[in-house]
């Protein structure tokens, strides 16, 4: 039964990847625009204010219990997405794309740091000052997020998106790093899963893979709210649910 569940977990990843390939192969970028008022904001609240804080809380609580630096990085990676998603959800197309890209860049870098720590880290865990370390880390990451959002409001960053022309080279470069971070992190966790057969590592690696594929779809949007970008967004939303499933499995494994 467990093997069947794991195999079933691959189905959404394959469907998202095949659908993106079909849309791009058929030249449907910029087609079938779907952008109702406040829909993106509502989805951001549902997934990034609903699911993300839960995932951040579970990983932070697990960090306080066992002191794993990987779980500290994981909790930071999720909490950083909350302020970006809220501001981006009700912004102009360029601001939404800009904040979405920069928020994902910070989050994906933290995810990669966690994966690298799990795979190659030699830093001793230690039990002292975990709460202090967690609070300071959260304050630091949220301060960086606030600074980036402020700089965007001041129009410091170049354009990331131009309607009917699509994303700019700046956005493509940023997302190139994001996708690289997610995919390498997924491979590192999958490598650990093959050694340990940990259910948590399996679902977490798939979540990162989904996020990487979804992020690629987001870079392909030509018109804000076209079908291609929605497929990419769905990939990231499903990735959040996979993250939640992975972290909920920690207690079962204990």
pLDDT tens profile 22-49? 999 988 887 888 888 778 778 877 887 7
pLDDT score at 35: 80
pLDDT score at 1: 47
Q: Where are the domains of the chain?
A: 37-253
The whole-angstrom distance between residue 93's C-alpha and the CA centroid of its chain comes to: 20
**What is the rounded distance in angstroms from the CA atom of residue 192 to the CA atom of residue 151?**
39
Q: Which helix (H) or strand (E) holds 121?
A: none
Alpha-carbon distance values, 155 to 41, 111, 172 (Å) = 21, 28, 19
**What is the rounded distance in angstroms from the CA atom of residue 10 to the CA atom of residue 12?**
6
Asked if pLDDT for residue 231 goes beyond 60, the answer is yes
pTM for the model stands at 0.88
Mean pLDDT of the 116-142 span: 82
Alpha-carbon distance values, 22 to 95, 209, 220 (Å) = 29, 19, 13
């Amino acid at each position: 039964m467990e093997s069947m569940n794991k195999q079933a977990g691959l189905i959404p990843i394959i469907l998202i990847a095949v659908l993106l390939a079909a849309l791009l192969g058929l030249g449907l970028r910029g087609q079938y625009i779907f952008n109702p008022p406040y829909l993106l904001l509502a989805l951001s609240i549902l997934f990034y204010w609903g699911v993300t804080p839960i995932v951040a809380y579970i990983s932070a609580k697990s960090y306080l219990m066992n002191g794993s630096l990987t779980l500290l990085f994981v909790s930071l990676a999720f909490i950083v997405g909350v302020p970006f998603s809220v501001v981006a959800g009700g912004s102009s197309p360029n601001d939404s794309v800009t904040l979405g890209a920069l928020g994902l860049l910070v989050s994906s870098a933290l995810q990669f740091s966690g994966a690298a720590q799990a795979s190659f880290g030699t830093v001793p865990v230690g039990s002292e000052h975990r709460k202090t370390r967690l609070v300071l880390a959260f304050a630091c990451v949220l301060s960086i997020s606030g600074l980036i959002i402020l700089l965007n409001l001041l129009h410091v960053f170049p354009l990331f998106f131009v309607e009917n022309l699509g994303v700019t080279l700046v956005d493509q470069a940023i997302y190139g790093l994001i996708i690289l971070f997610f995919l390498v992190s997924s491979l590192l966790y999958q490598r650990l899963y093959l050694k340990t057969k940990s259910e948590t590592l399996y679902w977490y690696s798939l979540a990162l893979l989904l996020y990487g594929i979804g992020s690629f779809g987001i870079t392909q949007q030509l018109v804000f709210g076209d079908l291609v970008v929605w497929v990419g967004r769905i990939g990231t939303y499903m990735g959040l649910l996979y993250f939640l499933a992975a972290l909920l499995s920690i207690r079962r494994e204990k």
